[in-house]
Structure 1
Amino acid sequence: MTSKDRQTEKAPKEYLEVLGDTVVPSSLLLSVVISVTCTIGGFFLGQAIFPSLAEAKMVNSYSLLLGIGGSVLALIVCARLFKPSRQLKEEQTSAENLHAIMDDLQIDAKTEYELIVNDPVTRKEMEELGILETFKRSGEREGK
């Protein structure tokens, strides 16, 4: 293995954010090509096959149905080819981290705490997770 191969292998992949998800651009492009090819290919295949099998007024409907089938096939192919590349990292959240996160999201901790306390379902979930007190302390810190 040459040094150039090692550098290429270690180089981080570039990602794009599309509709709130992070994707590899080459995978996105290839999946779009696969989807368009299968969908339009199914439609045109129907336009070629169905005139000899169905009534003339039904050819377009059947062709559209075959195009939809092509898009489902593309979905299955793309799901098999492109596995999720997410890397989730869990870390312990402290009161300071929570306060920093709320600042980043421009959330008022006191208002959030009041909403949590007033909703019994949310309050119960927060108590079970053991983070209600963290929200309470953050809300008190905001109130000062």
Structure 2
Amino acid sequence: MELDKINEAPKYLEILGDTVLPRNIILAIIISIILSLSGYLLGERLFPLFASEKMVSSYSLLLGIGGSVLSLALCAFIFKPSRVLTEEETSLESMEEIFKDMQLDPKEEYLLIEEDPVTRKEMEALGVLDKFRTIGEDDKK
């Protein structure tokens, strides 16, 4: 029974196009709330001692925002990215599918690349320019 839990893959959530562990996102929210609210409440007690009454809430809010920025840095340090990026060879079929999904004309894209020497050089270095040529030739037929 214990072995099943160990071998079980963690369950991720997708939030704003990124995958996160639910435990990590909850902890990050709690840390953010604590630091932001602490900054604001500290400002509410500290600023009346030397700031005008009109400015106390503004300065406190600014200190709360500072707490948010601090929590951002802290959470970025504590919770390292958990995604794994894999590289795979680009095939002609996958490029054609990408062009279809993005509603792009490969021939038009190839002409734009040919006009820009920097982009052409990068595409040649990546070995992708020949695939653009091939796709463009297939469209002519």
Output the TM-score relative to the length of structure 1: 0.82
Give the direction of change, closer, same or farther, for the CA distance of 1:81–1:54 in structure 2 (3 Å limit). same
Aligned with residue 37 of structure 1, among 34, 39, 46:
34
Which residue of the other structure, out of 58, 61, 68, is the alignment partner of 1:61?
58
The one-character-per-residue Cα deviations of 1:21-47 (angstroms, maximum 9, x if unpaired) are 222223222212221221122111211
Q: What are the ranges of 5 or more consecutive residues in structure 2 without an aligned counterpart?
A: none
> Which of residues 121, 130, 135 is equivalent to 2:132?
135
Report the CA distance shift for 1:103/1:7 in structure 2 as closer, same or farther (over 3 A): farther
* Gapped regions of structure 1 (runs ≥ 5): none
Which residue of structure 1 aligns with residue 4 of structure 2?
7
8 Å contact 1:43–1:67 — kept in the other structure? yes
Over the matched positions of the two proteins, sequence identity in percent amounts to 52
Question: Map of 1:101-120 to 2, 5 A cutoff?
Answer: 101-120=98-117
Moved more, 118-127 or 74-83: 118-127
Q: How many residues align?
A: 141
2:13 aligned residue = 16
The counterpart of 1:48, out of the listed 45, 48, 54, is: 45
User: Cα distance 1:101–1:78, how it changes in 2: closer, same or farther (>3 A)?
Assistant: same
Pairing 1:97–2:78 present: no
Residue type at the aligned position of 1:110: K
- Equivalents in 1 of 2:40, 2:47: separation in Å? 10
- Mean Cα deviation higher: 54-63 or 40-49: 54-63
Q: Return the alpha-carbon distance in structure 2 between the equivalents of residues 142 and 26 of structure 1.
A: 49
Q: RMSD in angstroms over aligned alpha carbons?
A: 2.0
Superposition TM-score, scaled by structure 2 size? 0.84
2:122 match: 125
